[in-house]
Structure 1
Amino acid sequence: MQPVLAYDQAPPFTLPARFFLAMPVWLACSGLVCLAWGSQAEAGRFSPVVLALTHLLALGVLGNVMAGAVLQILAVVAGAGYRHPGRLGLAVFWPLQLGVGALAGAFLTGFSALLFRLALACLVWGLGLLALVLTRGLLNSPARDATSRALAFAAVGLLCTVLFGGTMAAVFGWALPLPMTGLLELHMLAAALGWLLMLVAGVAVTVVPMFMLTPAYPASFMRVFSPALALAALLGALAVVAGWPRLAALPAIGAAAGFALLTLGRLQASRRPADPARRFWLTGMLALLLAQLTLAVGLCLAEAAPLWALATGWLWLAGFGCAAAFGMLYKITPFLAWLHLKALHPPRGALPSMHGFIDASAQARGWQVYLFWLASGLLWCAWPATAPLLGMATLALAGVLGHAHGRALWRYYRLRQAFLAAPDYPPS
């Protein structure tokens, strides 16, 4: 069952836009961290700089994109409108930004207990509120489509991610005697499967056929995948609790590979083969498949496990997560700008097309810079001395993304002001 889109329930454009604009800022911050400390990644995937970069990408970049997208999709797909969207946006936005900065700072300043406490308070508030809003909206919604079901499971995954991550922050903040290894495995499992993969899959069911003109996902997949992925995450968690962390990765490999292969099949049948956004999604699915390969190799080669684990994390976050997020943003930002301006009933011919906000050449340029960034990151995983190259590539990508989306939002603002200031507005 495909979702029925309730555009009349869409929140103000400022609600998702502030999250989307924060993304390139945190991407630029991660580039500066790479330039200053990136070569220290030789200490392993749990070195302070790697942990800081991981959370800058996971929370600052992906977290902002996903929060903005979730608040938009919840209203339009599930029909769950907001009474005070402006207050809601600020209540999630600022705690998230403060929490990301405090958490990255805690890692880079020698695991500062004070900063961990600040990060815990901010992120539990911001992300916990996001999960609660998502859960409440879905419980009150009559929607029963695949995207709404995936959002419901993703809300649980987000709560688990916040719970385990918050517990680890409390361990650092108050020196609690809790097992960090088990908490870390559960945190990564909930974040990778329960939140990131679940949310991207749920969004893909709607976004991929809608914007890239692909065949719809099979009805059987739409009914089965979300509970199957939740079961895979649960089995992985049970394996961690039982003391078999290596077995926890097996359900993840199967679920992720299955979704990637199915989505690749949809994308290959796209009626817009030259669409730059399609290239982002293709890259993301290939990166997701490669991540399962590096994960399997890391499990088999114990001596080289840290290198392969670092590459797996990069492919999951920068490859799969960021490719899907950037590809989605290049479609959603111009679409929302066009949609909200159309609701103002502008004069005939005054409203540009979606390509008038971000054209195909800008999208293609973004994908090319993204590919260079992704390759630079893989090189950094194998040879940390190349951190300056990754830092420059990160800053370049932040500039390209920030310019494209900032320009689109600025044109939206200018057109909105012009329409509202027209002498004959509102039209009869």
Structure 2
Amino acid sequence: MMPYVVQPGDTLLRIARRFHIHAAALLAANPRLSPADPIATGLLVFIPEQNASCYCVQPGDTVLGVAERFSLTVQALLAANPRLDPKQLVPGQLVTLPESAGGGPIIDARAEYGPAELERDLAMLEKHYPFVHVKSFGASVLGLPLYALRIGDGARKLHINAAMHANEWITTPLLMRFVEELVAAGARGGRLAGMDVRQALSEVTVWAVPLVNPDGVKLAQEGLQADHPFYHELLQWNHGSRRFRRWKANARGVDLNDQFPAFWEEEVKRRAADGPGRRDYPGPAPLSEPEAKALFDLTSAERFDLAIALHTQGQEIYWNYRGYEPPESESLARAFGQASGYNPVKLTGSDAGYKDWFIYEYRKPGFTVELGSGVNPLALDCFDDVYDELQPMLVRAIRYLAGL
């Protein structure tokens, strides 16, 4: 077995993914590890032996090219070579080739997907697909960048955001999987779920914000670390526990989906939260949190024609807001329901969410989609099933705006 020292941000699944082994094998080799508890930075763990060979980099090689040549995912190749510079390979250097993962996509949802995975994958997508444009449109409380992807050049604009709630982080790789499939189909002139992608993207621009709440997602995935700048406050807000799997809020204990200026005062009364916490605290004022303000500003600048906020769980589609929604919203929700198998719901008793504000401000179709079923956080083993529900719904949204 090979010894490995746990690094900041490591989890059981991330270590297993890095060394291309099954999490059960890692647990068997380290019986003191618990799948339910954060792994302490600096801990020595043992990695079971794996099958691997080496490749000598040739002039002109790229990470993506080497991965495709040996039927590996880019993630598996980089995980097996943590010191490898993905932007420039040096001819003559040796690259470890793990046992084939049997695929080739960039997005890898076999482990927790957070800010580090997102930033790496955005760089790979932008490099491999030049028509994908990535921009930082703000920063979180702790200074982590907020990213938006712009795809297509159509006059009509579709916006999709994900991971506004920390423990709903599975929505980030789900949205990123869709983005990768969409741009890959566009690059080869193909179709996605029957839609001619190039034709659609000539009519529609897709704006995706895959991770609205990076600080909260890190907490939910990695637990509270001793060097966190809000360590004592967060410990108090989480009732003394360093486990944050059920945490929904941002780093200041504010629920970002209660932050938007749509009858915010009514939501404050309804929540009756006495201060920061795991969930349901709307903050001291609308848009007090930089994540919510950045999304507000992006939406105000781009004035999207249709907006979809991805959450979990319940397999429901919320489409209305206090009668301000346009007439087509209900029929669109039914179409999305037919595509996904989800239940369109006319919701009451909810204010200050992103979807609420979007409808209230612009009188355009806005939707909150509760993906999957079970409890939050959804288990990764349901990822493919949930994606099969999401993909046709998002394709249907693009087709609607494109008039196809």
Question: Do they superpose with TM above 0.5?
Answer: no
Return the TM-score normalized by structure 2: 0.27
Whichever structure has more strand as a proportion of its residues is 2
